[in-house]
Structure 1
Amino acid sequence: MHQTTLQELFLEELRDSYDAEHQLLKALPAVAAAASSSELRAAVEMHAKETQGHVDRLDRVFALVNETPRRQHCDGIAGILKEGESALNAPPSATTDALLIAEAQRVEHYEIAAYGTLVAWAGTLGLAEAAELLEETLEEEKFTDEKLTQLATSDVNASANA
C-alpha cells in the first residue's frame, strides 16, 4: 500500500512495531539461554517481560485509534535477529555474551528509532494518550540499551578479551 497521509504512515509503523515486538517475544528466551553471564541472562529475561508490556501498550494504542491490532512483517527486526543467530549457536562464553549484547543493542537502537518516530507522529496527529503510551516504551528501550552498555563495559567485553 502506498501511504498518502501521516495517519496511514503512523498505522503502518504501529503494525511494524507490533510485529517486531512479537518476533522479539519469540526470540528472547533463546537469547537468555545462550548467555553465560547470569547478569546478562537476568537482563534479557527482564526485557522479555517488558516486551510483553510493550505488546500490551501497542494493543492499547490500536484501541485508541479504533484499529484492530494487526502485525505487518518487520523486515528490520527479522534481519537483525537473523544476523544474531550465530551467537545463539555458539558455545556459552564471555565472547558469546559480547556478541549477544551487540546484537541486542542493534535491536534496541532499531526500536528506539521506531518508537521515537511513533511518539512524534502521534503528537503531530493529536493523539496525546497514544504518544504517552509510546513514550513509556521508548524510555524502557533506552534504559535497556543503557543497561546493556553497562554490562558490556563493566565486565563482559574485558572478559571476552582475556
Structure 2
Amino acid sequence: MTTESTDELLVQGLEELYYTEQKLLDALDTLADQTDHEEVSQGFAEHREETEQHVERLEKVFEEIGEEPQRREERVVDALIQEHEAFAGENDGEVLDRYNISTGQKTEHYEIAMYGNVTSLAGKLGHDEAADILEETLREEEAALDELSEAGEQFDRQQVAGD
C-alpha cells in the first residue's frame, strides 16, 4: 500500500476505523449474548450503543474533511474476531466470561491506538473540528477500557473468593 501524503494516511486511518467500528457492532452483540456475568454482559450491550454513535461521528468526520465515508478492511480486528469465535466455540461458563472481558480489553487498546493516531493527524492537518470529534470518541474508548479493566478485576476477585 503506497501512501502519497499525510492526508491520505488520515483518510486510510479513518476508513480502517469505520470498518472496525462497524465490525464491532456485531461482535459486541455476540459478547453480550455469550457472557453469563450480568454486569459485564450489560456493559457490552451499552458499549454497542456507544459504538453506533462512534460510527455516526466517523461519518461526520469524513464530511468535515471532505471525504465520502468508506470502509477499509482492517485485518487486526478481523483476527481478533476470528480468535474469539474459535475460543468461544470450544469454551463456555466462567472461562468464556473472563475471555470475553479480555477480548474487549484487547479491542479497546487497539481502538485507542487507532483513534489516538487519527486525532493527532487531523489536528496537525488543520482539521480542528474533526480532531475534536475524534478526541471525544478517544475519551469514550479510554473510559470503556477502564470499565472493562475494573470488571475484569472484580470478576477475578469473585472467582478467587469462590474457590
Alignment-derived partner of residue 17 in structure 1: 17
Cα deviation, 1:59-118, whole Å, max 9, x if unaligned, reads 000001111110000111111111111443355422211100111111000000000001
State how far apart, in whole Å, the 1-side matches of 2:10 and 2:47 are.
25
Distance 1:30 1:122 in 2: 32
Aligned to 2:134: 134
Hey, what does 1:98 align to over in structure 2? 98
Q: Are 1:30 and 1:88, in contact at CA under 8 Å, matched by a contact in 2?
A: no
Q: Assess if the C-alpha contact under 8 Å between 1:95 and 1:157 holds in 2.
A: no
Q: What's the Cα RMSD here?
A: 1.3
2: distance between equivalents of 1:86 and 1:57?
Answer: 32
Q: Which residue of 2 aligns with 1:72?
A: 72
Aligned-partner residue type, residue 101 of structure 1: I
What is aligned with 1:2? 2
In structure 1, the residue matched to 2:35 is: 35
* TM-score, normalised via structure 2 length: 0.94
Contact preservation (8 Å) 1:34, 1:87:
no
SS in 1 for 2:66: coil
SS at structure 1 position matched to 2:36: coil
Specify the code of the residue in structure 1 equivalent to 2:79: G
Contact 1:36 1:93 in 2 (8 A): yes
Q: Can you give the 5+ residue segments of structure 2 that lack an aligned partner in the other structure? A: none
Q: How many residues align?
A: 161
Q: Distance in 2 between matches of 1:159 and 1:96?
A: 15
Counterpart residue number, 1:157: 156
Shift of 1:139: 0.5
Q: Deviations over 1:1-56 (max 9, x none)?
A: 41111000000000000000010012111110000110001100000000000000
How far residue 151 of structure 1 moved from its aligned partner, in angstroms, is 0.6
- The answer for the alignment partner of 1:61 in structure 2 is 61
Q: Distance in 2 between matches of 1:54 and 1:98?
A: 25
Residue 111 (structure 2) pairs with residue 111 (structure 1): yes
Amino acid at match of 1:57: R
SS in 2 for 1:3: coil
Verify the 8 A CA contact 1:101 1:148 in the aligned structure 2: yes
1:45-60 matches, cutoff 5 A: 45-60=45-60
